[in-house]
Structure 1
Amino acid sequence: MATETPLELVLEIGPAVHGGHCLARHEGRVVFVRHALPGERARVRITEQRRKGYWRADAVEILDASPDRVPSVWPEAGPDGVGGGELAHVALPAQREWKRGVLVESLVRIGGFDAQDPLLAGLSVEPVPGDVDGLGTRTRIELTADGAGRAGMYRYRTHDVLPLREMPLAVAEIAALDLLSRRWQPGARIDAVAPADGDPVVLVDGRPAKGGRTHVRERVQAGADEYRYRVAAAGFWQIHRGAPATLVDAVLEAATLELGQRVVDAYSGAGLLSLPLARAVGEQGHVLAIESDTQAGRDARRNAHGVPQLELRTAQVTQALPHIETRPDAVVLDPPRAGAGAGVLNGLADLEVPLIVYVACDPAALARDARIAVERGYRLEALRGLDLFPHTHHVEAVATLRR
């Protein structure tokens, strides 16, 4: 049976939009194009056609190139390749401008903010201090073995595993493990973790490889202070080597805490932000850390040992808020990609919390939640964009909402 030839079109590429795509149009139909840049003219291959609604496409030939285009730092993440490096063909300054534009557009379109507001008009997406080229920065990678036992990643938007020849975003300690040349059990999931302290750990289907450890130790230097953590190797931790310290600095700057104050750290994980917040308010203050994941909660209890002002509670944030009897001076929100949601934002407004520091990894979720907060009497006082995921479309934001 003959295979149908994919449809190819020549399109003028429009602005960058959320998800690592650029927007183009064909006969009035929206086409979301990957591996292109705004202003380019490209031959694109349609990868998904819908009878109604938008199409998806990959740029397979650039006819008129943007000055911001560079040779891809990871060609295997290019057209018809794996996900996870969709901006590898974009110069780093242009990547950050791309992310700034998506963040601002989300806040305007979804959040209802004014694009001329100085906070949005003057926004930039900042690199992690010391990050020169965005390569060799990931301390955690996830691979899957194909049918022949070769380690790879999924082709974008499929369940097809493509074996990899290189992983340029991984730190040197992971590269030295030579995971890509080994043979694995077909279908195995391989996770590699390179902690700040100690040797790397390899997990196969969630279990440490022979002689491996179940936990790793992380160390974060933020300003003059150092914080130490013990976290499950399979648990959540920021993947960029410099991201933990960058986030701690950004949150403490936004929160402007004083000794003796009361703080809630919601979606607190293993305590990355909880320990610095506890130090900021001192033993005369109080930090309530709320986390629903039991493994992260167990890690947090170990990390909180000897910090009497830090109280840990394993619960959903929406369930915990009604039981907070004393109004906190500030709440730090670091929710998953879906955001905190109306239940949490309305709950904080009902508590009359004067300050919310919102750490967001999804611009659309941040825009939606910021709009809810503004409708409940908050104002967007400060906003920072952080490039914790170079060569991808992901961007972190730290928003300060004050009542």
Structure 2
Amino acid sequence: MAAGTLYTYPENWRAFKAQIAAQYSGARLKVASNAPAFTFGQTNRTPAFLNNFPLGKVPAYQGDDGFCLFESNAIAHYLSNDALRGASPQAAAQVLQWVSFADAEIIPPASAWVFPTLGIMQFNKQATEQAKEEVKKVLSLLNQHLNTRTFLVGERITLADISVACSMLWLYKQVLEPSFVQPYSNVTRWFVTCINQPQFKAVLGEVKLCEKMAQFDAKKFSDLQPKRETAPKKEKAPKESKPQEKKEKKKEEKKAAPAVEEMDECEAALASEPKAKDPFALLPKSAFVMDEFKRKYSNEDTLSVAVPYFWENFDREGYSIWYGEYKFPEELAMTFMSCNLITGMFQRLDKLRKNGFASVILFGGNNDSTISGIWIFRGQDLAFTLSEDWQIDYESYDWRKLDVDSQECKTMVKEYFAWEGEFKHVGKPFNQGKVFK
């Protein structure tokens, strides 16, 4: 029977998966989530921790025998028993299917929708609306699957139920109000059944379901952002009757206020990385403000506002437009896996966002699909070649630089930005799109 310590921060839903699995299997699991045993942002950056867990990410598991694991799904699997993992090869494969489904199909839209309501991500109207539609697809699929089933795999709780329920926890707590989930009664029935199991309650406590859909709170978001240091103001000569010591003490105390705990350890890890040399540093400044275009694209109508703004302000000398098409369409199987392929590429290009934009679309259906998109880069060269960190995925695509003054370019920009049109060069129906911004 497994025995060891799980390092995490408080209320980490990824860690909940391992904790609940241990409740079912009887694994002896100690949880280190508070000082002095573990302080997120400090302990996970020490040489001793990084020696066992090189990425510095949590949750991380260390067995009493010295065996170490990172990645929440692997830890939960290790701490499970055979019943949770799937009693037969077929059941085990189905469990893995749902665990992967949670990562690929639930977590991305759930994060895009929920995080702004928690004040840890800026609100983006288009991203939120897209996330709502993707959540509806997920709920519809689950609702149909659970129409004749109590649990996702077999007749008992498995790691499939644990993983999917944990990935939906914040959705049900923050935004899935009764009117929104009313068409998906099978899903709610299943979710409530799961969270009321003794093993779930031992970890989650009482889960209060959302009664009213939470909204973005600009003030809350502002309050949670780290304050930038500003140049000190010139001090006035101190008045004899009011010594400055107390004021200085208050300022020091204000500066020493603890930072808000990060919800996502990946963000903290990225923030702690040393700043690398900017690959675009030698390029001349451009009058085209990419961030302003992105705001138009995210918050206003695409065809009537964002596309006209793009062409009115686009800098032909400072930026270039590229068409990228996936080279191996015959390898694309299930559409959710293809979408995950796109999402993974976007995540690995995070540091390119300030100087790039893309709208990538999956066309077709299962076992008959293609991926292509329009990319905007600063400079006249293919941006992926400027940094080794950006070269993981780009060789899987054929790239063609477009003539920005051609009708072909204008049509493709319009269609890919708006996710609608004839797409004559594709020959397959629109499935769904994803935006890199």
Structure whose residues are more often helix by fraction:
2
Structure whose residues are more often strand by fraction:
1
TM-score w.r.t. length of structure 2: 0.24
